[in-house]
Amino acid sequence: MASILTYANIADAISAVEAYEQTSSGIYESFQGTMSNLTGANWNGDGSDGCMHFFNSTVTPALTEGVGSMSKAIKDILSSIQDTLLDQLDPQLGEANQNPGGAE
């Protein structure tokens, strides 16, 4: 019986991570535009400055570097799974199952 985990599963998971990155980027850009419009000519003063400070120091890193770091970590894990399980272990198990004890 073949492994349930396939190269297609890994590729699909990587595609899902990339779609998440694109969606997150679009949300960030939209949010950034809204914040710029809100705190521009329509809202000035300490409240506006504080809001933009929070957005720039907390929200921006979470939606840019945070998402990027998380995506890289997930892709690294998927690559490791592919390398360890699909490229190395599965062929070794197949060989061992076809030639138990090393005899042919």
- Please report which helix (H) or strand (E) contains residue 25, including its range: helix 7-39
Joined together, the tokens standing for residue 44 give 């000035």
Residue 104 has what pLDDT?
52
The rounded distance, in Å, linking the Cα atoms of 11 and 13 is 5
Instruction: Please report, in tens digits, the pLDDT of each residue of the chain (104 residues total).
Output: 455 888 899 999 999 999 999 999 999 999 999 998 888 777 888 988 999 999 999 999 999 999 999 999 999 999 999 888 878 777 777 777 788 776 55
Residue 103 has what pLDDT?
54
Residue 27 has what pLDDT?
95
Residue 70 has what pLDDT?
96
- pLDDT tens per residue across span 49-59: 999 999 999 99
Joined together, the tokens standing for residue 79 give 């690559």
Residue 21 has what pLDDT?
96
- Please report which helix (H) or strand (E) contains residue 50, including its range: helix 46-54
Is the sign of the CA dihedral 31, 36, 41, 45 positive or negative?
Answer: positive
**Rg (alpha carbons) of the chain, rounded to whole number:** 24
Q: Tell me the HSE value of 86 on the side-chain side, using a 13 A CA sphere.
A: 15
